[in-house]
Amino acid sequence: MASKPPSRDSAPGRKSITAAPVLDADAQKRADFAKAASKQYGRGEQIRTKSVRDKKLRSNLKALEAKNQEAAFQAKQAEILLDNEAGLLETEHELEKTYRVRQDEIQQEVSIETAKKRFELKLDMGPYDVGEYTRNGRDLLLASRKGHLACLDWRDGKLGCELQLNETIRDAKWLHNNQSFAVAQKKCVYIYARDGVEIHQLKKHQEATHLEFLPYHFLLASISTAGMIRYTDTSTGQMLQELPTKLGPPTSFCQNPHNAVLFAGHQKGLVTLWSPNTSTPLVKLLPHHGPVRAMAVDKSGTYMVSASQDRKLSIWDIRMFKELHSHHLKQPAHTISISDRNVTAVGWGSNLSIYRPDIFSLTPDSDVRVPAPYMNWGGDGVGISRLRFCPFEDALGISHAKGFSSIIVPGSGEPNPDSLEPGTNPFESSKQRQESEVHALLEKLQPEMISLDPNFVGNLDLASEEQRKRERDLDAKPDDKIAKLKNKQRGRSSALKKYLRKSGQKNVVTEEKVRAREALEAQRAKVKDRFEKEKEAFGPALGRFARKA
C-alpha cells in the first residue's frame, strides 16, 4: 500500500482505510478479466516460453504470447461494442410455461417493427418445400414443389421475381448474395438471377435432391437421387468433384458452417461427412436406425441435431463424435433448423417445437429425458416442410403446405451482426454488396482447405517420410519441357528461342537443347512452308501480301 502524499489527501483518514482494499479488489478484477479474456479469445493454450533454450526464440515467443494476450484482452474489451443483448422469454413463476405463449400474445407485446416480422403468406401452389433466407437475412426465396418460385425482400415486401417453372422443384438455395440463386429442378440444377433470368444450367448436377452452398469457398454442392455428391465452383463455373456416397438415395443434406464439411443422411440411419478432397467420407456416424430425415449443425460446428423416421431426435457433439442426448418425438421430424444463438426448431408433422440453447448442454448422464420445449407452434393440420431461422432476426420462417409463415421467436437471432464479414451485413447497401462481393472473391478459400479442422492451414505435416514417399507418384512421367515450350510460337520471344537463348553456354550440347533446336527448325520450316503455300495461293500479283509468320 503506497501512502499518498499528505498534501494531496484532503479526505479524512477514514476514507483512506477503505481505499486500500479497493485497490486490491481492482487488481483482482483486472486479473480475472484478463483470465476470462484469454480463455474466451486466447485461441488455445499458451506455450511455455520458459523452457525454450534459444534466447532469441524465447524472447520472440514471449513477445508473441504478450501480443496474443493483448489481442484477447482487447477482444474482450471490445465486447462493450456489442450493445444489443440476447435473451429469451422468461416466465414469472414456475407454473408459467414459455411454450404456452402464443404468437398473437407476443405480437401484442413487442414493438411495432418487431411485430411486423410475424406474417403469413398464403399461397395455393401446393406444398412449399423451400423457404431460404440470404446470409444477411434480408431476402427470402420461396419455392413450391409444383414449380412456383419467388424471391423477395421480405421486410420491405419487395418482390424480386416470381416464376412458374412448370417443373418439380426439389430444392433451392441462395448463392453468395441476394443476386442469384440455384434451383434443383427435376433434371438439372439451374442458376437464376434475382430478376428471374436463368443464368446457368448445370447439366452435370443431375436429379439433385438437395443443394448446399458453401459461401467462403464459392462451392455449390448437390446430392442426387443416386447418392452422388457434386461440387461446382460458382466463381469459376468449374465442376470440381463428383463423389459417390454408395449409400443409396439420400434422405437429408446439410453443411457444417464451421468447416464447410457436408453432412449427408442416409436410409439406414447413417450420417456421412464429406469434403471434396476425399472419395470416402471423412466420418461415418450412426445416430439412428431408420432414414435420417433431417439434420442441422450449429454455427460453431460443435453440435448436430438429427431426426429420423424412427421418431428419434438425436443430439451429437460432432467434434468429439459422441451422442449427447436422444429422445423420441411423437412423430418423425423432417426439418430442423438451428439459429445463430443455438435456438433449435424441430418440425414434426404439422407441429413445431423450439428448444432452448441448453439442450446442447445435455449429457448422457443428465436426468432430463425429454427436454421441455421453449416454444410451440402449429398443430393445425398444415404440414410443415422446412424451417429456417432468419439470420440476425428473432424470426423463424416456416414453409408449409399452404404457403409461408414467419413467426417471432424471441432470442433466436444474433443481436450483433458483424458488418465486416462479407455477405452478412443486414444493412448492406448495394455499393457495399458489390464491394463485399469482390472482397469475398479475392479472399475465396480453396476447396483443398476443407477439412474437419479448418485451422489446419500452415500446420506441420506429421506424416513420416516413408508415408510421403509412398504418396509421391514415383511412376509419373517427368514432364516434357520442350513439348510445353512448343506452344508459344511467335516472334523473337517465342518460347523455344527464349529457352535456347537463356539456357546458358552455346557450346554445351544437351539432349534438351538438341530437341529444342530441332523443334525450332521444324517450326521454321512449317512457317516457311505455309508462307510459300499462301504466296502461291495468292497468285503472282498478290503474293507479296502473304504473311511471313
Partner 1 sequence: MPPRLTHSSLPKGKPSKAKPAGRAPKKAAKRALNAFSIASHDTVDRSKGRKSRLGESDVDARRKRPRDDEEEEDEDEDEEGGAVKRRKQGRGNDSFDEGSDSEGNNWKMGHVDDDDESDIDSDEAFGESDEERFEGWTFRGSQSNRKGGKVKKKSRDVDMDDGDDLDLDEGESADGEEDDDDLGDDAIDLATALDQWEESEEETKPKKGKKAKKSKSAFDDSDDDEPSEVDDLAADGAGDFDSEDDEDDDKQERLKDLISSLAAEEEEKSAPWKAEIHESSAPSEFGVMRKIDLANFKSKIADPERKKALKLLQDDKPSTKRNDLSRKLEAPLPKRQQDKLDRTAANEKANTTLDRWVDTVKHNRRAEHLSFPLNQVEDGGRMGESRLLPTTTADPTNELESTIQSILQQSGLSNGKEDEEKFQQWETLQTNKLPLEEVLKRRAALRKERELLFREEVRAKRVKKIKSKSYRRVHRRERERLMQRERDALKADGVEVSEDEREYNDRRRAEERMGAKHRDSKWAKGVKASGKAAWDDDARAGVTEMARRNEELRRRIEGKDVRDEDEDASDLSSEEEDDDEDDDQTLNRQVGRLQENPFSTDKSKLGSMAFMQKAENARKKQNDEDIERIRKELAGEESNSEDEDENSTKAGRRKFGPGSKAAAPAIQVRGSEFEERAASESEDENGVPVNESTKEISTGRHRLKPSRNASDNFESSAQNPYLVQAKKSKSGAEPDLALQAFDTIAATQDEPEPKPKSKKKSKKSSAKASADQEADHGLAGNPTISTPDDDGFQTVTYNDDSDDIENEGIDLDLLTRNHALTASAFAGDNVEQEFVAEKAAVALDDDTQTTTTSLPGWGTWAGSDLSQAQKKHARHAGYKTTTVVEGVNAKKRKDAKLDRVIVNERRQKANTKYLAAQLPFPFENREQYERSLRLPQGPEWTTKRTHQQATKPRVVVRQGVVGALRKPLV
Shortest gap between Cβ of 193 and partner 1 (angstroms)?
28
> For residue 504, which phi and psi values (nearest 5 degrees)?
90, -150
Return the number of the residue (320 or 476) whose C-beta is nearest partner 1: 320
Torsion of CA 422, 424, 426, 430, to 10 degrees: 30
- Shortest distance, CB of residue 353 to partner 1, whole angstroms? 8
Nearer to partner 1, 390 or 440 (CB): 440
Minimum distance from residue 410 beta carbon to partner 1 (Å): 17
Closest approach of Cβ 377 to partner 1, in Å? Answer: 8
Nearer to partner 1 (CB atom), residue 232 or residue 309: 309
Residue among 332 and 397 whose Cβ is closer to partner 1: 332
CB closer to partner 1, 62 vs 530: 62
- The least CB distance from residue 290 to partner 1, in Å, is 5
Instruction: State the minimum distance, in angstroms, from the CB of residue 513 to partner 1.
Output: 33
For residues 495 and 486, is the Cβ–Cβ distance under 8 A?
yes
By beta-carbon proximity to partner 1, the closer residue of 34 and 546 is 34
Q: How far is the CB of 341 from partner 1 (least distance, A)?
A: 20
Shortest Cβ 307–partner 1 spacing (Å) = 13
Q: Is there a contact between 120 and 104 (Cβ–Cβ < 8 Å)? A: no
Compute the distance between CA of residue 410 and CA of residue 99 in angstroms, rounded to an integer.
12
Task: Residue 338: count other Cβ atoms within 10 Å of its Cβ.
Answer: 25
**Rounded least distance, CB 538 to partner 1, Å:** 53
- Could you tell me which of 146, 139, 109 has the C-alpha nearest to residue 124? 146
User: In the complex, what is the shortest distance from the CB of residue 36 to partner 1, in angstroms, rounded to a whole number?
Assistant: 16
Q: Say what angle helices 511-542 and 495-502 make with each other, to 10 degrees.
A: 140
Nearer to partner 1 among residue 203 and residue 468 (C-beta)? 468
Nearer CB in complex with partner 1: 121/375: 375
CB of 305 to partner 1, least distance (A): 16
DSSP letter at 47? P
CB of 427 to partner 1, least distance (A): 17
Which residue's CB is nearer to partner 1, number 180 or number 451? 451
- Measured from the CB atom, is 316 or 389 closer to partner 1? 316
Output 416-420 pairs: Cβ under 8 A, ≥24 positions apart. 416/82, 416/83, 416/84, 417/136, 417/392
Closest CA to 245 of 259, 224, 261: 224
Cα distances (angstroms) measured from residue 154 to each of 104, 106, 134, 183, 400: 20, 20, 11, 19, 17
CB 149 within 8 A of CB 115: no
Cα distance between residue 384 and residue 398, in whole Å = 7
Give dist(CA 549, CA 547) in Å, integer.
6
Biggest CA pair distance of the chain:
119
Residue 479, Cβ density class (10 Å: 0-12 exposed, 13-18 middle, ≥19 buried): exposed
- Cβ closest to partner 1, residue 462 vs residue 541: 462
CB closer to partner 1 out of 267 and 489: 267
Taking alpha carbons only, the member of 390, 425, 391 closest to residue 404 is 390
Beta bridge partner(s), residue 213:
220
Q: How many Å from the N-terminal Cα to the C-terminal Cα in the chain?
A: 91
Q: Please state the closest distance from residue 13 (CB atom) to partner 1, in A.
A: 3
Question: Closer CB to partner 1, residue 241 or residue 339?
Answer: 241
In order of 126, 173, 526, the CA distances from 519 in angstroms are: 68, 52, 10
Rounded CA gap, 144 and 168, in Å?
A: 8
Let me know how long the chain is: 549
With CA atoms as reference, report the closest residue to 123 among 407, 401, 408.
401
Instruction: State the angle between helix axes of 55-77 and 13-41 in degrees (0 to 180), rounded to the nearest 10.
Output: 110
If the CB atoms of residues 124 and 435 are measured against partner 1, the closer one turns out to be 435
Contact by Cβ (8 Å): 288, 306: yes
Q: How far is the C-alpha of 289 from the C-alpha of 287, rounded, in Å?
A: 7
